[in-house]
Each structure stands twice: as C-alpha cells, then as structure tokens.
Amino acid sequence: MSNSSKIALVTGGSRGLGKDMAHALAKKGFDVIITYQSRSADAENTIREIASLGKKGYALQLDVAESKGFLSFSEKLSTTLETEFNSRKLDALVNNAGVGYHQSFAESTEEGFDAMVKIHLKAPFFLTQTLLPLLNDGSSIVNISSGLTRFSFPGYAAYATMKGGVEVLSGYQAKELGERKIRVNIVAPGAIETDFGGGAVRDNQELNAMITSLTALGRVGLPDDIGSVVAFLCSEDSKWVNAQRIEVSGGIFI
C-alpha cells in the first residue's frame, strides 16, 4: 500500500527558516524529510515537532557544499522513501540550505566567494539535477533567493550574486521541466528574525529598528512569514503558479 500523504524535502530544515518551512508543510498535509549539516539534535527536535503536527518527519545528513556527495545522498533518500514512507518519490523539493556571508565588495575574498558558489548556486543546480528521478511528475520545486537581488545593501555583493544566479536558474528549470508538469518558483525573503548571519536582524536593536522604518508594513519579518508562502507554492493551491519570484519582505524599499 502506498503512502497517501505527499512528501516534501527541505534542505537545511533543522533550524531557522527551513525549520519553519518544515512546520508549514506539515500543517499543509505533507510528510517532511529535512536535511541538516551537523546539528543532529536540532534536526531530531524538528522531526518531533513535525510529529506533533500529525505528520511523519525524517532527517538525513547532507553537506550541500560537497556536490560529490549528492549521488550517495540520493541513494539514501531513495531508500528512506521506500522504507520509512512506503513511497518512491517526492512531491516537493525546497532548496533552502545556506549560510550568510557579510563582507564589502572591496574586501570579499576568493575563498569566501567560492564558498558561496558551492552552497548557494552549485547546490541548487546539481542537487536538483541529481534528484530529478526521485521527483514525481507534477511536483513543485521552490528555490530560496533573497530580497537582496532587488535592492542593494552594502556587504552582500557575493551572497546576492549567487541568489541572482538562482533566480535565472529557476526560469530555466521551469522551462525545461515543464514537460513533466514540474513547477519551479522562487521565494525571496526580506530581513527576517532568525539566527541567519549571526542573528543580526533579531539581536541588533538598531538594525531591527532601521529595517522596520524602511518596511511598508512596519516590522521585520518572522520565520512564519516565509514558511507559509513556501508551503503554498508546494501545494495544489498554487497549481497554476510557475516561474515566479515572490518577494516576502513586507514591502521593504518600495
């Protein structure tokens, strides 16, 4: 007997925005597989929280900076789908895993730039490519970008450049995967109160107040603001939404 629930994979789902995406997907009726790099305790906690929402969760270790490990990850994922979910394929993939890099253009290093390429551009490209056989026809891919592709904020040149590349990639994915009825969309968060970038938006009251003053809705973003949009794009509610960039920023810099 096959699993009647839809199944989503969220990379970097053990904490921050990814954790809330996993919660939102569970609330939307998905079973959820998350990946984590090293914080297994955080991942286990997220799985327990998914279970408390009445859905099944599972965590797999993955370092998205190491593309050579993508094939073995796909094999582990395939086994997990069959043994833990009584299924063979995913219905949604959320490319969320990432890290911050705050450095001026003049002082950015090649090492830092290359790390951003591996994590924020190469991973969404080649991990998605590797997982194509495990995606159902008619499934959904959501690539996480950033509001920083629309507006410029000093110190994020390298990071935002990668996210710009992800947005171009998403258009090509939507075009080429359309024959399989796979939808590809982009979610571009604004400034969010998480531990991302050392928790600056959350913990620096001066920065928090400045962002609030620049945002039409008068506050900084919260993780739930993003997770609910991602869950919508993974669901049948968005079945006719494709190749779109949705900025979720409360109207910053408008």
Distance, in Å, from the CA atom of 155 to the CA atom of 116, rounded to the nearest integer, reads 14
Residues 67 and 7: beta-carbon distance below 8 Å? no
Domain map (residue ranges) of the chain: 7-192+222-248
Residues 52 and 65: beta-carbon distance below 8 Å? no
Choose the catalytic residue: 36, 58, 159, 172: 159
Reported pTM = 0.95
Report the phi/psi class of residue 251: left, alpha or beta, with left for phi > 0 and alpha for psi in -120 to 50: left
- Return per-residue pLDDT of the chain as tens, 254 residues: 355 799 999 999 999 999 999 999 999 999 999 999 999 999 999 999 999 999 999 999 999 999 999 999 999 999 999 999 999 999 999 999 999 899 999 999 999 999 999 999 999 999 999 999 999 999 999 999 999 999 998 999 999 999 999 999 999 999 999 999 999 999 999 988 866 656 656 656 778 888 899 999 999 989 899 999 999 999 999 999 999 999 999 999 99
Q: Specify whether 159 is catalytic.
A: yes
First to last CA, the chain: 51
CATH architecture, domain defined by 7-192+222-248: 3-Layer(aba) Sandwich (3.40)
